Amino acid sequence: MTYDAHFRVWRGDDEKGELVDYPVEVNEGEVVLDIIHRLQQTQAQDLAVRWNCKAGKCGSCSAEINGRPRLMCMTRMSTFAEDEVITVTPLRTFPVIRDLVTDVSFNYTKAREIPSFAPPPELAPGEYRMQQVDVERSQEFRKCIECYLCQNTCHVVRDHEENKENFAGPRYLMRVAELDMHPLDAADRVEAAQEEHGLGYCNITKCCTEVCPEHIKITDNALIPLKERVVDRKYDPVVWLGKKIFKR
């Protein structure tokens, strides 16, 4: 069944722009990204949009659809009424380059600020041994496709540009948690999480978890356990010392 949907798409850059209305054909089984592509083919050849896999795996097509951060390729047109206006805007937390494409380099900067996996120097690659339970604990976090929907949604930076410098955001605090849970990682992640990556800014609103297309329990399984370890260390120096001496 084919019908014309009413699309309202942001056109412009970081300085100026406007929402432009387009009627666009929709066919059965299509997703929002299909409609954006049809719009490009038929009425707006210069519309800028970032995408790659059309399978929810590359994390490129993030946008806000009717104000909700989502992947365009995973948002079925059948979830909207045929007479509904569908508004597509770029991620609000990052500067717009053009139309639906934003500059997400904030996230690359934050990624670089986290020191990489630091195994004990006396172990050579190949000598690493891990329990299956430890492998499984971090498996969930490795599903991240770096779509940055969580980074875009977290109010700490969404509403406060000034916090960007001091806050790594949920995706990268999750990376710190993942490394801290790694039994072979010898770096001190807990203090850095609080002092350098801004863990204290997170007040566990869980908005990041709600928008994650990989359904990673960012708050419950990464951020809260990391916060608990910060508290352990702060209020129980014996636990802290024990952990330092007998690092798992």
Q: List interacting residues with ligand FES (CB under 6 A).
A: 51-54, 56-61, 71, 73
Let me know: does 235 contact 186? Beta carbons within 8 Å: no
Let me know: does 214 contact 145? Beta carbons within 8 Å: yes
> Considering beta carbons, is residue 202 or 216 the nearer one to ligand F3S?
202
One residue of 218, 219, 226, 233 binding ligand SF4 per CB under 6 A? 218
Site for ligand SF4 contains 144 (CB under 6 A):
yes
> Considering beta carbons, is residue 64 or 185 the nearer one to ligand FES?
64
Site for ligand SF4 contains 148 (CB under 6 A):
yes
Q: Running DSSP on this structure, what letter comes out for residue 74? A: G
Site for ligand SF4 contains 173 (CB under 6 A):
no
Site for ligand F3S contains 78 (CB under 6 A):
no
237-245 helix and 224-235 helix, angle to the nearest 10 degrees: 110
171 binds, among ligand SF4, ligand F3S, ligand FES, none (CB under 5 to 8 A by kind): ligand SF4
One residue of 13, 134, 140, 146 binding ligand SF4 per CB under 6 A? 146
Q: Which residues of 146-181 are buried (b: 16+ CB within 10 A; e: fewer)?
A: bbbbbbbbbebbbeeeebbeebbbbbbbbbbbbbbb
52: tokens are 């790659």
Angular region, 93: left φ>0, alpha ψ -120 to 50, beta rest: alpha
- Under the rule (CB under 6 A), what is the footprint of ligand SF4? 144-150, 171, 211-214, 216, 218
- Under the rule (CB under 6 A), what is the footprint of ligand F3S? 154, 156, 170, 202-208, 219, 223
